[in-house]
């Protein structure tokens, strides 16, 4: 969940009036860098309209991002643009990026990123060549600050070609020029129990510097949604852009769709950890072997101590009356109690009252046996009963 808006915010950057070259090799700037060996590939298709009767633009931006050792990653993007008003398209440039990730102990994590144009051209007009574009930005997310979801926010300073659509009498209508601007973005990734995850954000752009092309003030609403696909590493992102306040450069309306595939190779085997685990397991096996041998020695020395008694109720005759235990056993069997063992013990002290003994946790069984015998018989616990014996009846001559 915590990566939802990080991916969605990538698409937000594409919704700028310039198709601002994304600052990372993914559809949007993400507040996390990827691990070494991981690869993110993506393709973003967008349609932007700048005025009701001017400049509808389509953009296709494929790219990739590769995780580097440490907290770094790098990316490459190749944006292609088609201007439906000028009826021409072109590959604008190649763009490289470098990011560094940061985490904190308060649920806040982010990334600093820089990008620059590779192989720029010197064209000033056309479909926007992306000549000498460069910028820096930072994006952050907090997943523990609000219960509703994850907060995202970021800021960027960029120098890039922008589409100027002044009025019909202006000199700059429909032309691409280099300009410097800052953008602020923020939003909430909503934590909902649904397959698709919604997002709602805002974007503010403002021209800075002394350029005569610096009038780029805008405020836009950014609704979006992320939809996981059948493959656990693939997802589809849909993003909208609706300008509430607009002064040049930023589009009035834009819609984007991004298809992302995240390649996550299995981690290489850690032979040192495996050796430690094998050594720990061997120690456990050796300890178990010693315990088994100790038990075997004890059984050999005193086998009666470890002999398991037959299951069922044991009936012992302590009354001195021959065969009285057999009569009591028959009585208990008729009452539904299984008899495991009966014996006459003539050498024990003669009992006047019959006693029912039960093992810990078998109080209900002991009371039921006592109630099934004639007279008011006593039942009490005995923790020293032989192994496997749940209840034992010591027959007294009161049952004669």
* Residues 200, 208: Cα–Cα separation, whole Å: 27
pLDDT value of residue 123: 53
- CA–CA distance, 15 with 10 (Å, rounded to integer): 9
Q: Could you give the CA distance from residue 389 to residue 290 in angstroms, rounded to a whole number?
A: 29
Structure tokens at 319: 């009354």
Q: Report whether pLDDT(22) > 70.
A: no
Q: What tens digit of pLDDT does each residue of 367-394 get?
A: 999 899 988 788 999 988 887 788 999 9
Count other Cβ atoms within 10 Å, centred on residue 300. 9
At 63, is the secondary structure helix, strand, or coil? Answer: strand
Residues 6+ apart with CB under 8 A from 309: 340, 341, 386, 387, 388, 389
Q: Tokens for 286?
A: 């050796």
Among residues 3, 10, 1, 2, which one has the least CA distance to residue 238? 10
pTM, to two decimals: 0.58
CATH of domain 4-263: 2.40.160.40
DSSP-assigned states of every residue in 137-165: EEEEEESSS-SSEEEEEEEEEEEEEEEE-
Task: Give the strand pairing for 94-103 and 72-77.
Answer: antiparallel
The pair phi, psi for residue 305, each rounded to 5°, is: -65, -30
- The listed range with the strongest mean pLDDT (135-139, 165-169, 190-194) is 135-139
Which burial class, exposed, middle or buried, applies to 74 when counting CB atoms under 10 A from its CB (0-12, 13-18, 19+)?
A: middle
Position 164 scores a pLDDT of 63
Q: How confident is the model at residue 303 (pLDDT cuts 50, 70, 90)?
A: low
Q: CA 229 to CA 232: how far, in whole Å?
A: 7
Tell me the Cα Rg of the chain. Answer: 40
Rounded to the nearest integer, the mean pLDDT of the chain is 80
Give percent helix, percent strand, percent coil of the chain, each to the nearest 5.
20, 45, 40
Q: How many CB atoms lie within 10 A of CB 252?
A: 18
- What is the average per-residue pLDDT within 163-177? 60
Burial class (CB in 10 A: 0-12, 13-18, 19+), 190: middle
**What fold does the segment set 313-399 form as a domain?**
Alpha-Beta Plaits (3.30.70)
Average pLDDT in the 257-278 region?
A: 87
> Residue 167: its pLDDT value, please?
55
Domain boundaries, the chain: 4-263, 271-301, 313-399
- Whether pLDDT at 25 is above 50: no
Specify the residue for token string 């974007």: 203
pLDDT higher at 232 or 167: 232
**Using one digit for the tens of pLDDT, what is the confidence trace for 113-127?**
998 888 765 554 456
Residue pair 108/88 in contact by the 8 Å Cβ criterion: no
- How far is 178 from 201, CA to CA, in rounded Å? 27
Summarised one tens digit per residue, pLDDT across range 315-334 is 999 988 888 889 999 999 99
Residue 20 confidence class, pLDDT cut points 50, 70, 90 = very low
Please give the Cα distance from 358 to 379 (Å, whole number).
Answer: 7
Cα dist. 368→251, 265, 271, 305, 398 in Å?
A: 85, 64, 61, 29, 19
Residue 302 has pLDDT above 60, yes or no: yes
Nearest Cα residue to 15 out of 341, 252, 355: 252
Cα–Cα distance for residue pair 145/108, rounded to 1 Å = 9
């Amino acid at each position: 969940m915590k990566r939802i808006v990080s991916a969605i915010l990538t698409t937000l950057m594409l919704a700028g009036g310039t198709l601002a070259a994304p600052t990372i090799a993914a559809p949007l700037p993400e507040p996390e860098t990827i691990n070494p060996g991981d690869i993110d590939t993506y393709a973003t298709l967008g349609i932007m309209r700048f005025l009701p009767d001017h400049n509808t633009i389509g953009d296709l931006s494929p790219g990739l991002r590769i995780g580097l050792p440490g907290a770094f990653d790098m990316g490459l993007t190749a944006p292609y643009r088609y201007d439906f008003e000028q009826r021409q398209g072109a590959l604008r440039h190649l763009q490289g990026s470098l990011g560094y990730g940061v985490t904190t102990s308060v649920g806040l994590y982010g990334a600093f990123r820089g990008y620059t144009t590779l192989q720029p051209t010197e064209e000033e007009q056309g479909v926007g060549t992306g000549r000498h574009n460069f910028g820096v930005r930072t994006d952050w997310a907090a997943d523990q600050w609000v219960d509703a979801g994850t907060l995202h926010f970021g800021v960027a300073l960029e120098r890039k070609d922008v589409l100027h659509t002044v009025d019909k009498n202006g000199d700059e209508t429909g032309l691409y020029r280099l300009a410097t601007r800052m953008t602020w973005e923020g939003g909430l990734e909503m934590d909902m129990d649904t397959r698709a995850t919604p997002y709602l954000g805002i974007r503010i752009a403002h021209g800075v510097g002394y350029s005569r092309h610096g009038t780029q003030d805008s405020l836009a609403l950014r609704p979006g949604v992320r939809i996981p696909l059948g493959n656990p590493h693939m997802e589809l992102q849909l993003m909208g852009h609706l300008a509430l306040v607009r002064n040049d450069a930023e589009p009035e309306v834009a819609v984007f769709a991004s298809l992302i595939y995240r390649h996550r190779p299995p981690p290489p085997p850690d032979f040192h950890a495996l050796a430690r685990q094998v050594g720990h397991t061997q120690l456990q096996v050796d300890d178990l072997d010693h315990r088994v041998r100790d038990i075997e020695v004890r059984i050999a020395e005193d086998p009666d101590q470890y002999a398991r008694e037959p299951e069922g109720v044991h009936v012992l005759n302590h009354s001195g009356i021959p065969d009285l235990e057999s009569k009591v056993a028959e009585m208990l069997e008729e009452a539904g109690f299984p008899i495991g063992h009966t014996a006459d013990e003539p050498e024990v002290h003669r009992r006047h009252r019959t006693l029912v003994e039960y093992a810990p946790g078998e109080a209900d069984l002991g009371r039921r046996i006592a109630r099934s015998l004639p007279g008011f018989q006593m039942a009490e616990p005995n923790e020293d009963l032989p192994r496997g014996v749940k209840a034992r009846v010591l027959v007294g001559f009161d049952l004669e």
